[in-house]
Structure 1
Amino acid sequence: MIEQILAGLAEYWLTILAIFLLICCSGFFSGSETALTATSRARMHTLEVNGDDRAGVVNMLIERRDRLIGALLIGNNLVNILASSLTTSLFLGLFGDSGVAIATLLMTVLLVIFSEVLPKSWAISAPERFALVVAPLVRPFVAIVGPLSSLVNWIVRKLLGMFGVSISGEVSMLSAHEELRGAVALLHREGSVIKADRDRLGGVLDLGELEVSDIMIHRTAMRAVNADEPPETAIRNILESPYTRMPVWRGSTDNIIGVIHAKDLIRALAEPNVEPQDIDIVKVAQKPWFVPDTTNLKDQLNAFLRRKSHFAVVVDEYGEVQGVVTLEDILEEIVGDISDEHDLEIQGVRQDSDGSIVVDGGVPIRDLNRAMDWQLPDEEATTIAGLVIHESKSIPEERQAFTFYGKRFIVLKREKNRITRLRIRPIDAAEPQV
């Protein structure tokens, strides 16, 4: 009789031990799924390059996330079902029919706490470290259960396809640039990345989306040299200019025949027995380089580097000169304004004591966004004056005001059909927009 009681107790304890181990396995699968899906691929790649073999295993596992997640979910469900079945069987023997309800309530609490919340919270707090630890154990399990996981994923895709839903485990919904941009914006909001670094990284990502026409110096603001002027006048204009390179035209500004470099001019003036009136500006000038205004900045930057050039004349589809673009203009889209001791201190933006700002109409929207940390759209217009004209669908009169994008725009000055100065005032959320 005593032997039967002891055998029964031993059987109960073995069942309880089995349930405990199954709950631990369930927690392992849940934590592994969270860690391996949340871990940074960039961090794992760096560790693998530095010789960490476990990081290589992690990279191999997350390369096929659908197969990995499917295998872990299969393992998790198997141990959960088995643990629940054993608990129900044990409690039926102890409490009779009411044991089913007790087993259900107890296993729900145990699985939620120890198989879901606890391991997932632990894994998400340090996903890289957790993933490195569990990867060697997960790898053989995925190798065994992987084929079944692939079959399950195939069945799921077919079922979803019947309802017109198409999914792919290989294609990300976000492009690499969008993922980087989102990560940088999130880190900036959390305080890990300062505004200046966010702007620089954003500038690099924007190069492929912007065209030369978005950043060029427009022909109306372009400084150029008339080849038909007396040499002394041309030389004085070049040396007094804040620019190192200037286009040379003849007849009209659409006829660019060269680009003069100040160093080449100084070198020519330094020749023995050479007077300013003896200098031929056209001979000193270099051959001009013309680029389409639709060229994106990434391609133009590569072209500048490939040609070892810093200056290009921008033309439209009809070959008419639209302006000039320099290597510095493109670099400023990344690092912000680059000023030296010879640059003119004309920013075009002035902030008043009442919180409003006075802006020249030709200030680029991107520069204003970067300076003020605003989000004004620049898809339809390049300058702030162009944005007002686009939104108002007219050429506004002086002192006319408009409200859009959370800002109040007041036209301060207009010359002919050009808006040359505006006042911009952020409006309160409670203030009606009319």
Structure 2
Amino acid sequence: MLDSVLTFLADYWPTLVSILLLIAASAFFSGSETALTAASRARMHTLETNGDERAGVVSRLIEKRDRLIGALLIGNNLVNILASSLTTSLFLGLFGQTGVAIATLVMTVVLVIFSEVLPKSWAISAPDRFALSVSNSVRIFVGFAGPLSSGVNAIVRFILSLFGINLSDGKSMLSAHEELRSALDLLHKEGSFIKADRDRLGGLLDLEELEVSDVMRHRTAMRAINADDPPEVIVRTVLDSPFTRMPLWRGTTENIIGVVHAKDLLRALAEPDMEPEHLDISKIAQKPWFVPDTTSLKDQLNAFLRRKVHFALVVDEYGEMQGIVTLEDILEEIVGDIADEHDLEIQGVRQEADGSIVVDGSVPIRDLNRALDWNLPDEEATTIAGLVIHESKLIPEERQSFTFYGKRFIIMKREKNRITRLRIRPVDEGALAGE
């Protein structure tokens, strides 16, 4: 038996060595394809900036992804076919016609394990490191096989164009912001990002999609100063307010004539020979700045920084007062609530012992989503009361309840046409199925 094996190896060792080398080459092509397509472009850019030449090679290969993949597939198929052909020829000489079936079975098992699953599993476990290690070898091969790959891609594009598919115009279905947001959500689920970090970065990405109207303080909740009030009343109003800047109106709250800064008021009162009863609040008020309610938060943030002011009055398309927006309102969309010693304690959200949430109707949906990690939609409404009205298509009565988005909304209090308080409790899937 041993003599037969030695004789077999002596007669066929060149063929066996060739098959083994071809299997190794197939593993190289399979692993390289997986690693280079899964490698992080951001990581490669950082490494290239730090002087790693191999990262630059990887980046250039990835830039022409169709050429790269085409070349690797050509190489992979070429060595697989050649390895299978040599094995079939070898087994035909040993077993006759049954050698074809044996060779097919053997090569299928060998190629699947050692040329596909093993190298791809290895590559996907550390794609960046694997891609760096094979970058120079792949670059040389792509240099030779690239023209053939380009020809194959041209044929593929032509055939697909017959079916109305144009690869040259192909674009990612996700925008850059959506891809970043998806990556943040995925990293959060995997435990790499805590919720607070995800919310901050997500808030930064949302600035371009949100409008001033989404974060402004509505005029019904706005504190303002009546220019016709006596000076002592004006001073007391400013002192009692938790805000340092307040709109100044005359005649009607719609007629804003200026913005009073508490520091400017103190300076005026500290002037020599200034009698408080002679205070003219309109003279120390700053000129009001009006902005459209449709301005994106990104543009408004840039405008605040450019003008070096923190406060703006929001108007609609008809010029009617809608509310106020501050630099802090926009920053809170990124970092969450910014509280100081003068902020009001009332947050408008209270957790009940039975697991339900009691919420003021004016609480923004985005704040609720961020605080409780919910996913209530905020495209059609800004506040939680607005969401209930939008979904129910009516002004609900007290004690009326609605179920949508996996939550039950119970109206607790209504004042005129405003929902001022409601209770929200989660609805399990079984309860939803039974309704």
TM interval, shorter chain, is over 0.9
Code of the residue aligned with 1:259 in structure 2: it is: V
Indicate if the aligned counterparts of 1:235 and 1:276 stay in contact, CA closer than 8 A: no
Aligned to 2:418: 418
Shift of 1:192: 1.1
- Partner of 1:258, secondary structure, is strand
Aligned to 1:290: 290
- Partner of 1:421, secondary structure, is strand
Code of the residue aligned with 1:431 in structure 2: it is: A
TM-score between the two structures when normalised by the length of structure 2: 0.96
Code of the residue aligned with 1:394 in structure 2: it is: L
For residues 344 and 7 of structure 1, the distance between their equivalents in structure 2, rounded to whole angstroms, comes to: 92
Aligned to 2:402: 402
Taking structure 1 as reference, are residues 270 and 81 closer, same or farther at Cα in structure 2, changes over 3 Å only? same
Indicate if the aligned counterparts of 1:203 and 1:333 stay in contact, CA closer than 8 A: yes
Indicate if the aligned counterparts of 1:64 and 1:169 stay in contact, CA closer than 8 A: no
Code of the residue aligned with 1:91 in structure 2: it is: F
Shift of 1:173: 2.4
List per-residue Cα deviations over 1:241-291 (Å, max 9, x = no partner): 100111111111121111111111112222222122222211111111110
Which consecutive aligned stretches of 4+ in structure 1 deviate over 6 angstroms post-superposition? 5-8
Mark the runs of 5 or more structure 1 residues left unpaired by the alignment.
Answer: none
Which segment is superposed worse, 234-243 or 36-45? 234-243
Aligned to 2:305: 305
Code of the residue aligned with 1:419 in structure 2: it is: I
Aligned to 1:216: 216
For residues 376 and 388 of structure 2, the distance between their equivalents in structure 1, rounded to whole angstroms, comes to: 11
For residues 320 and 215 of structure 1, the distance between their equivalents in structure 2, rounded to whole angstroms, comes to: 17
Shift of 1:7: 10
CA RMSD of aligned residues (A): 1.6
1:228 to 2:235 alignment: no
> Percent identity over the alignment?
78
Note the 1:12-411 alignment, pairs <5 A.
12-168=12-168, 171-411=171-411
For residues 147 and 268 of structure 1, the distance between their equivalents in structure 2, rounded to whole angstroms, comes to: 79
- Partner of 1:422, secondary structure, is strand
For residues 359 and 400 of structure 2, the distance between their equivalents in structure 1, rounded to whole angstroms, comes to: 15
Code of the residue aligned with 1:171 in structure 2: it is: K
Code of the residue aligned with 1:381 in structure 2: it is: A
Taking structure 1 as reference, are residues 430 and 7 closer, same or farther at Cα in structure 2, changes over 3 Å only? closer
For residues 157 and 47 of structure 1, the distance between their equivalents in structure 2, rounded to whole angstroms, comes to: 34
Taking structure 1 as reference, are residues 6 and 194 closer, same or farther at Cα in structure 2, changes over 3 Å only? closer
- Partner of 2:259, secondary structure, is strand
For residues 397 and 170 of structure 1, the distance between their equivalents in structure 2, rounded to whole angstroms, comes to: 51
List per-residue Cα deviations over 1:288-307 (Å, max 9, x = no partner): 11100000111111111111
Taking structure 1 as reference, are residues 403 and 93 closer, same or farther at Cα in structure 2, changes over 3 Å only? same
For residues 363 and 91 of structure 1, the distance between their equivalents in structure 2, rounded to whole angstroms, comes to: 76
List per-residue Cα deviations over 1:327-369 (Å, max 9, x = no partner): 0000111111111000111100111100011111101111111
Indicate if the aligned counterparts of 1:66 and 1:169 stay in contact, CA closer than 8 A: no
Code of the residue aligned with 1:376 in structure 2: it is: L
For residues 382 and 139 of structure 2, the distance between their equivalents in structure 1, rounded to whole angstroms, comes to: 53
- Partner of 1:382, secondary structure, is coil
For residues 9 and 373 of structure 2, the distance between their equivalents in structure 1, rounded to whole angstroms, comes to: 71
- Partner of 2:166, secondary structure, is coil
